Amino acid sequence: MAHEETTSKFIARLVGPVLAVAGIPMVLNANTYRTLIEEILISDALVYLAGLLALLGGLAIINVHNSWSFGWPLIITVFGWLCAIGGTIRMTAPELVETLADAIYQRPGVVEGIGVAVLLVGCFLSFKGYST
């Protein structure tokens, strides 16, 4: 197995199950998830901490897997960059994050739709990571 494929599978084994598990409450308990988001957004410290963790995770992925070749591993690279960018925004502009989250998550069906997407990507990456 080539080094890049080994790295892709390793990251998919980590990220896939986390995304799959994160998507489940978004789909099954959307109202509870909306409340959770509201509670996080009222704390600048939690928004900052979430940004710090997202930036750290994104940079970790980017540093070992910054491959822009077409194929399923591209999902991992894009995920790493989205985490790094999202983390930076959370750390530098928490008020923007609150405004955007309020506008997005209060719309009917949005949480469920995002949850389905997160769940599907998580299941796909888990399958790719754990398949031989």
Q: What pLDDT score does 103 carry? A: 82
Q: What pLDDT score does 38 carry? A: 86
| Angle 51-54-58 from CA coordinates, rounded to 5° | 140
- CB count within 10 Å of CB 53 equals 13
Residue 132 falls inside a structural domain: no
Residue 13, domain extent: 3-64+71-127
Residue owning tokens 């928004």? 47
Q: What is the dihedral of CA 109, 115, 119, 121, to 10 degrees?
A: 90
Task: Report yes or no: 54 and 83 within 8 Å, Cβ to Cβ.
Answer: yes
Count: domains in the chain? 1
One digit per residue, the tens of pLDDT, for the chain of length 132 reads 566 689 999 999 999 999 999 999 999 999 898 888 888 888 889 999 999 999 999 999 999 999 999 999 999 999 999 999 999 999 999 888 888 888 887 788 999 999 999 999 999 999 999 997
Question: Half-sphere exposure of 63 toward its Cβ, with a 13 Å CA cutoff?
Answer: 7
Q: What pLDDT score does 3 carry? A: 64
Q: Is the pTM of this model over 0.85?
A: yes
13's CB contacts (< 8 A; 6+ apart) are 126, 129, 130
Residue 31 falls inside a structural domain: yes
Task: Report yes or no: 73 and 8 within 8 Å, Cβ to Cβ.
Answer: yes
